[in-house]
Amino acid sequence: MKNRYFVLLLVLLLCGCAGPASLSWRPAERPASGLDEEMDASGFLAFDGSAEVLLQREVALADSAADIVADDAETQEDNVVLTVQLPDAPEPEAPETLAAVAEPVVAAPVAPRYDFPVVENARVQAFIDYYTGPGRRTFSRWLERSGRYLPLMSEIFAEEGLPRDLALLAMIESGFNSNARSWANAVGYWQFLDSTGRLYGLRNDWWRDERRDLEKSTRAAGRYLKDLYSKFDDWYLAVAAYNAGPGTIGRAIRRSDSRDFWQLARGKDLQLETRNYLPKLLAALIISKQPEEYGFDAIRYEQPFRFERVELPQATDLELVARLLDSDYETLKELNPELKRWCTPPGERGYRLRVPPGSASDFAEKYAAIPPQERARYHRYQVRPGDTLGRLAQRHGVAVNDLIALNRIRNPRALKVGQDLILPLQAGVATPLLAEQSSEGDRGSRQSYRVQSGDSLWKIARAHQVSEKDLRLWNRLGWSSLLQPGQTLLVSAPPQRAQLAQVATPAQQRVAYRVKTGDTLWGISRRFGVAAGSIRQWNNLAENHVLQPGETLTLLVTGGRS
pLDDT band at residue 159 using 50, 70 and 90 as cut-offs: very high
Most confident of 166-170, 326-330, 518-522: 166-170
Identify the pLDDT of residue 275: 97
* Mean pLDDT, residues 82-88 taken together: 33
| Same fold for the pair 122-294 and 498-558 | no
Is the pLDDT assigned to residue 154 strictly greater than 60? yes
Q: What are phi and psi of 422, to 5 degrees?
A: -100, 130
pLDDT band at residue 101 using 50, 70 and 90 as cut-offs: very low
* pLDDT tens-place string over residues 326-346: 888 889 999 999 999 888 887
* Count of C-beta atoms within a 10 Å radius of residue 537: 20
Identify the pLDDT of residue 21: 37
Is the pLDDT assigned to residue 106 strictly greater than 60? no
Packed helices 136-159 and 214-232: angle between N→C axes, nearest 10 degrees: 80
Domain boundary assignment for the chain: 25-101, 122-294, 308-368, 498-558
Identify the pLDDT of residue 99: 42
413 versus 108: the higher-pLDDT residue is 413
Identify the pLDDT of residue 74: 34
* 356 and 325 Cβ atoms separated by less than 8 Å: yes
Most confident of 41-45, 110-114, 441-445, 522-526: 110-114
* pLDDT tens-place string over residues 350-408: 899 999 999 998 898 888 888 776 676 666 788 888 888 888 877 766 667 767 876 77
pLDDT band at residue 171 using 50, 70 and 90 as cut-offs: very high
Q: Which residues contact 19 (CB under 8 A, 6 or more apart)?
A: none
Q: Which residues contact 471 (CB under 8 A, 6 or more apart)?
A: 457, 460, 461, 477, 489, 491
Instruction: Tell me the whole-structure pTM to 2 decimals.
Output: 0.56
237 versus 345: the higher-pLDDT residue is 237
Distance CA 152, CA 305 (A): 7
293 versus 370: the higher-pLDDT residue is 293
* pLDDT tens-place string over residues 186-225: 999 999 999 999 999 999 987 899 999 999 999 999 999 9
498-558: which CATH architecture?
Roll (3.10)
Identify the pLDDT of residue 226: 98
* 228 and 211 Cβ atoms separated by less than 8 Å: no
Identify the pLDDT of residue 445: 53
275 versus 26: the higher-pLDDT residue is 275
Q: What Å distances lie between residue 192 and 114, 319, 467, CA to CA?
A: 26, 29, 55
Instruction: Output Rg (C-alpha) for the chain, integer angstroms.
Output: 39
With pLDDT > 70 as the criterion, what percentage of the chain qualifies? 68
In this structure, what is the dihedral angle of CA atoms 15, 19, 21, 22, given to the nearest 10 degrees? -70
pLDDT band at residue 512 using 50, 70 and 90 as cut-offs: confident
Q: What are phi and psi of 209, to 5 degrees?
A: -135, 100
Q: What Å distances lie between residue 26 and 29, 64, 244, 448, 551, CA to CA?
A: 9, 12, 55, 102, 95
* Mean pLDDT, residues 517-538 taken together: 77
* Count of C-beta atoms within a 10 Å radius of residue 534: 22
* Count of C-beta atoms within a 10 Å radius of residue 454: 8
* Mean pLDDT, residues 517-542 taken together: 77
* Mean pLDDT, residues 161-165 taken together: 97
Identify the pLDDT of residue 463: 81
Helix H or strand E encompassing 405? helix 400-407
Through-space distance between the first and last CA atoms of the chain, rounded to whole angstroms: 122
Identify the pLDDT of residue 112: 86
* 345 and 208 Cβ atoms separated by less than 8 Å: yes
Identify the pLDDT of residue 258: 96
CATH of segment(s) 122-294: 1.10.530.10
* Mean pLDDT, residues 429-456 taken together: 53
* Mean pLDDT, residues 422-426 taken together: 64
339 versus 51: the higher-pLDDT residue is 339
Residues pairing with 514 in the sheet: 552
Could you tell me where the beta strands, DSSP code E, fall in 491-551? 508-514
pLDDT band at residue 7 using 50, 70 and 90 as cut-offs: low
* Mean pLDDT, residues 77-105 taken together: 40
Which phi-psi region, left, alpha or beta, contains residue 50 (left: φ > 0; alpha: ψ -120 to 50)? alpha
Most confident of 148-162, 418-432, 452-466: 148-162
Identify the pLDDT of residue 87: 38
Distance CA 204, CA 545 (A): 39
